[in-house]
Each structure stands twice: as structure tokens, then as C-alpha cells.
Amino acid sequence: MTRTRWRDHDWRLVHTAPQSPALHMALDEVLTHAVGAGHRPPTLRIWEWAAPAVVIGRFQSLRNEVDAEAARRHGIEVVRRVSGGGAMFIEPGNTITWSICAPLSLIKDMSFQQAYAWMDAWTLEALGELGIKAWYQPLNDITSEGGKIAGAAQAHRGGAVLHHVTMAYDIDAAKMLEVLRIGREKLSDKGTQSAGKRVDPLRSQTGLSRAAIIEHMIATFRRLHGLADDTLRADELAQAETLAREKFSTAAWTADVP
Amino acid sequence: MHGEYKMPGGKLIVVDLGIENGCLANVQVSGDFFLEPDDALHAIDAALEGHGAGAEEHVLAAAVRARLAPGVMMYGISPEAIAIAVRRAIDQGAHA
């Protein structure tokens, strides 16, 4: 296997109507395997959320990270994703999230750190065009002069790499701190010095709507790497719905690290 | 008992464990680190199980390293950092 470049691939865009948190987890797994098996071209998938969620990292302890009672009170579904990294607090409209599913050849012989920087480079360019000077902050963050903007996570599955990123658009920090058990030392990382503040680096620094930022990011990816509009195939969706039901919605998976 | 350690330049490593008859029991390592493949986490937990509560860091780190299959990749976590989090769980738990 030799290293491939972005332009060697026929990139596809999937950006569908809002979907449930468990289905998003399942789609990451299904599409990453599909790309690894050569059944689908490399894909950029933009997530739209049908419901609020806490998404914990593959290796995080459920009880250590999430206040289950507070999550229930706010009607927030807790799901575990396939990649490592930290917990995300999602309400529809408060974040911008995407996944890139690519053959491992795109990051061949790279260290983890090089691979994160490589997969985030187009994002930094897109943010720069919006007037935000942002940079990759090892190990897996994107930050700016105004503080942390995004967290990324990678997982290798079935011959492909999954690289997903969540950017804070406009987060209710008070509610986030009710639901996530974030230690005091971690708060500085999250850009939330005091509860009650909004974490809105993208909204406040661009003045743009979430939809306008997403549109701009898609345009940047298209210009740099090439991108054709695509949809989920019926069999991919069916497979993901089964996986959402039989794996990602189950207590056995969500509490795999209790 | 519970211990945490933020590896310098790395991620947060959390250890929850009990001590039964002077030995580590029900060891659970967790955190916001990255591991490939993901089932390596169970191997890490298993490698720590049953060590004496007095085991030194280098012994715990070596036990973790020995149990990891070839090709396991760690990002933001290391056997030494896990060992520190385990010692903190034991020592802080003892004073709690």
C-alpha cells in the first residue's frame, strides 16, 4: 500500500436530514467499514441531530463522565461512540459535527499526530477564510486565540480511518456542566471558566448562522479535495438502523466501560 | 478507590479499583485517550488484576506492557501513565 493524496480519491458528501444519536454512531461504523472494503468511495458526512445527546468516548467510564439523573431530567440520550477521546454535549444546532471515512492509505506511515493534523488541515483553511485564526493543538484539538473550537477523534476500522470532529457553535455551558462530570482541571481545556456562560467561539467570532458555516466548510473541502454530492444507499441505512438498535442503543454497549 | 492522572502531553487516565485480600480487584482503566485496537483496554484491565496493593509503578507498567499484543497503538496513554494512575487510586484510597 502506498500513500495516497486527497485528490487521488473520489470524495463523496453525505448530508442528510436529522438522525438519532444512536444512528449516527452506527453510520460511523457502517460507512467506515464500507470505505475500507471498497464498497463506498471516501466520504465526508455532515451530522444533523434529531435529539440532544451526550456522546462519550470509546474508553470513558459512563458513571464517571455522565450524571445520569441530570441527563434523564433534560431528556438527553447517552451514547458511546467507536472512537476514543472525550465526551461531547450535543443539542441540535449547538455544534457542527462531521465524519471523514477514508482509506488508511491517506495517512500511511504517519504518526497519530501527523494524521490528525493532515485530516484537520482543510478545516483550518475553512476557518481562516471565515476570519478565525485556528490551529491544530495536539493531541486532538483545534483551538484559536478565542479558545478551544473543536475536538477530533480517529479510529481505525476494517482498513479505513474514521476521523470525526465536533466544533462548538453555541453551547449552553450551564446545562453541559449539569450533565457532564467535568473535573475542575479540565474546564480550562473546554473554554468554560465559569458555569452559565455560553461557549460560542464560532457564532461570536463569525456572526454567521450554523448553516452558513457548514455551507462554507463544504465549499472549502470541495475546492481543496474535490467533492461530489451523494446519499446513503438503502442497504447502508438498513444496516446502520439494525446496528443502532442492536448495539448502540443497548446498555451493554453504552456501559461497556461502566 | 479512584485515581486520576493527566499524562503530560497526553490525556486523562482514570482508574477505579478495589482491594481484596491485599490484591487489586475489579480494576477499570478509563479516560479520553486513544487505543487501537479498542479491545486492548480489556487486556490492560486484566494485566493489573491481582497485583499486590504494594506493587511499585515499574512493576505495574511492565505488567501492562507485557500483556499488550504486538501492534497495539496508544495515543495519549502509556503503561507508565496507567501505573501512576493505579498507584494514585491505591494511595489516595488508603488515606480517604
Tens of pLDDT, residue by residue over B27-77, are 999 999 999 999 999 999 999 999 999 999 999 999 999 999 999 999 999
Chain B residues with at least one Cβ partner in A under 8 Å: 4, 6, 9-12, 14, 16, 28-38, 41, 73, 75-76
Mean pLDDT confidence for A163-176: 94
The CATH number of B2-95 is which of 3.40.50.720, 3.40.50.1980, 1.10.10.10, 3.30.390.50?
3.30.390.50
Residue-level pLDDT at A184? 47
What is the rounded CA–CA span in Å between residue A175 and residue A170? Answer: 12
Residues of B in contact with A86 (CB under 8 A): 11, 32
Mean pLDDT confidence for A225-239: 98
User: CB under 8 Å to A129, separation ≥6 — which residues?
Assistant: A216, A220
Q: Which long-range contacts (CB under 8 A, 24 or more apart) does A184-188 make?
A: A185/B6, A186/B12
Domain contains A60: yes
> ipTM for the complex?
0.96
Mean pLDDT confidence for A207-213: 97
Mean pLDDT confidence for A101-124: 97
Domain contains A258: no
Residue-level pLDDT at B50? 98
**Residue A45 corresponds to which cell in the numbers above?**
458526512
Task: Tell me the sheet residues that pair with A229.
Answer: A13
**Residue A158 corresponds to which cell in the numbers above?**
476494517
Tell how strand A43-47 and strand A95-103 pair up: antiparallel
Residue-level pLDDT at A186? 56
Contact A59 B76 (CB under 8 A): no
Residues of B in contact with A257 (CB under 8 A): 28, 30, 41
Looking at chain B, which residue has its C-alpha nearest residue A65? B31
* Domain harbouring A207, CATH code: 3.30.930.10
Instruction: Place A239 in a pLDDT band, splitting at 50, 70 and 90.
Output: very high
| Cβ atoms of A70 and A173 closer than 8 Å | no
Total tally of structural domains belonging to chain A: 1
User: CB under 8 Å to A181, separation ≥6 — which residues?
Assistant: A64, A65, A66, A67
pLDDT surpasses 70 at B94: no
Interface test mutation site (partner B, options A59, A137, A139, max chain B beta carbons within 10 A): A59
Domain contains A250: no
Task: Tell me the sheet residues that pair with A43.
Answer: A12, A101
Could you give the percent of chain A with pLDDT greater than 70?
A: 94
